[in-house]
Amino acid sequence: MKPVYLTHYRRTAFSRAHPKKAGVDALADWPADALMAQLIDHSLETTGLGPEDIDELSLGCALAVKEQWSFGGRYPLMQSRLGDQASTRMIDQQCGSSLSALRFGMMTTGTGATDIVLAGGFEHMTRVPMGPALFKEGVLGVPAMPGTNGKTYDMTVALNMGLTAERLATEAGISRVEMDAFACRSHQRAQAAQLAGFFHDEILPIALTDAEPFSQDACIRPDTQPEALAQLPPAFSDTGEISAGNSSPLTSGASLGMLMSEAALGKTGATPLARVLGCVDRGTQPELMGQGVVPAVERLLMQHHLSVADIDLWEINEAFSVVPLYAQRKLGIADELLNIHGGALAIGHPLGATGVRLAGTLARSLHKTQGRYGIAAACIGGGQGIALLIERV
């Protein structure tokens, strides 16, 4: 593989989504593909590249139905300045979708098939909501669960991400107290990063009608306290430990990264944020979806002859508190190296957009701390995990 570099990253601020109360969502009037078109145009303006310079656009989306169906990625291209020569595709790997889009771009650029590519993702959880009810026959065009060829799965759990989190917490012995404390930490770190202006340079403000541009993540609650979270009822099971407080909120948003070959770096004079070294995904038991980060990270480290101790910073998606807590325990990750600017519990988790957010924030964090290696990872609905390794340059 030839060297591949991440040279540009931007996202929208993540809004609070609500399928039944669109008014709470600052991005309610913005379809997800239109948000992506804004990011695409900004990437060209910022880098000075022409619409004809981009070889491909890969996009991730966890629920590519209704208006999020993008005609294989062509709709965002059509709404942007990007030239028709760019190939496009839509990738569904649930919460890992845009990390998977980055991996596709890494592979095409690393093999010499492309020189400059865009990879991103989006999800609008107000306009196209997601939940277990979707898997009833015919809802939003999502088919019912197929047969399993004799395999035994508890599909009541496997199709409900909250119940998979409950099962993982039970089997791993991770308590409600630990999960609530981790959620509070996420809000506190995200608030500190927001006040320090860290997120300012990765967020593209989005114009709103009769309002200031939307430019700050909407779900950060700096006054969150463990005592208050402890009073919240279980969200998925009457006797459970997973609540709205230790789960990521419903959010809408989009994110985009640009990858270049070494030859393109020389030609354009771009300054890389990071070198993308590798990306691995691994399957796991669907009912324990949240543990998928661990086998993906373990294989990624093995392939690159690295250990956990070699990794300077980690961005592990906070779909639920139990996910990074489980990975931290299993892998032996130091608290001060994990999600140092908060995570999805506070920032939000627009499913298809989260992977590029993890990778971009990680690259920027490595520059801030002068670390060398970082890993961005996410669990994936259905029983998978995905992990991306980058190096500061």
Active site residues: 95, 349, 379
Nearest one of 2, 3, 7, 4 to 272, comparing CA atoms? 7
Residue 148, C-beta contacts closer than 8 angstroms, at least 6 positions apart:
none
Can you tell me the distance from the alpha carbon of 115 to that of 6, in angstroms, rounded to the nearest whole number? Answer: 12
Distance (Å, rounded) from C-alpha 378 to C-alpha 106? 18
Read off the amino acid at residue 164: T
* Token pair listed for 128: 């196209």
Residue whose C-alpha is closest to residue 390's, from 93, 43, 99, 114: 99
49/130 Cα distance (integer angstroms)? 36
State how far the Cα of 342 lies from the Cα of 188, in Å rounded to an integer.
7
At residue 123's C-alpha, the angle toward residues 118 and 125, to 5°, is 170
| 116: its two tokens | 């400059």
For residue 165 the two structure tokens come to 């989190």
Question: What 3-state DSSP class applies to 32?
Answer: helix
Burial (Cβ within 10 Å: 0-12, 13-18, ≥19) of residue 118: buried
Q: Look at strands 373-380 and 4-11 and give their pairing.
A: unpaired
Please classify residue 183 by burial: count the beta carbons closer than 10 Å to its beta carbon, then call 0-12 exposed, 13-18 middle and 19+ buried: buried
